[in-house]
Amino acid sequence: MQTQATPAKTAGQWRTDFLVDYHGEGQPPCGLQKCPPPKPGTWHMIEGWNNTYTCLRTLSDSENSIYCEFADTENFVEFYDIAADPWQLHNVAKQLAPVLRDRLKERLQELRACAGTTCRAL
């Protein structure tokens, strides 16, 4: 039985949204106080005790941006147009149109919720 090779995807067919995910050291299940201590020399204490966030990174021919939601008591959100602000110095999340902000939030949630092969279709 002979199989055909899958044709290479063109640039327009590749996924343009990616999940960036970081869980700070203070997050459950144990936080710093309850976790067993790490082996000496394998641990570096960072200043952000609970710097937990998820981001939607979009990179395509027409868009180069990042939208981030932080798991903190402030529900902090960031959005950077990296094409216009490559050093991410100007957080413009508050200036986003509500429709765009809702679309970014929904897309981020889709990527958060997928697992395994279900992510391939997104």
Q: Which CATH number fits domain 16-27+48-116: 3.40.50, 3.30.1120, 3.30.1490, 3.30.70?
A: 3.30.1120
120 vs 2, residue with greater confidence: 120
Query: Which CA distances in Å does 49 have to 29, 46, 64?
Result: 14, 7, 30
Residue pair 93/100 in contact by the 8 Å Cβ criterion: no
Q: Mean pLDDT across the chain, nearest whole number?
A: 78
Percent of the residues in the chain that have a pLDDT greater than 90, as a whole number: 43
Per-residue pLDDT reduced to its tens digit, 57-91? 999 889 999 999 988 777 899 999 999 999 999 99
The CA-atom distances, in angstroms, between 86 and each of 9, 61, 72, 82, 105 are: 28, 16, 25, 4, 22
Residue type for position 120 = R
pLDDT for the residue numbered 52? 82
Indicate whether 36 pLDDT > 70: no
> Measured in Å, how far apart are the chain's first and last C-alpha atoms?
31
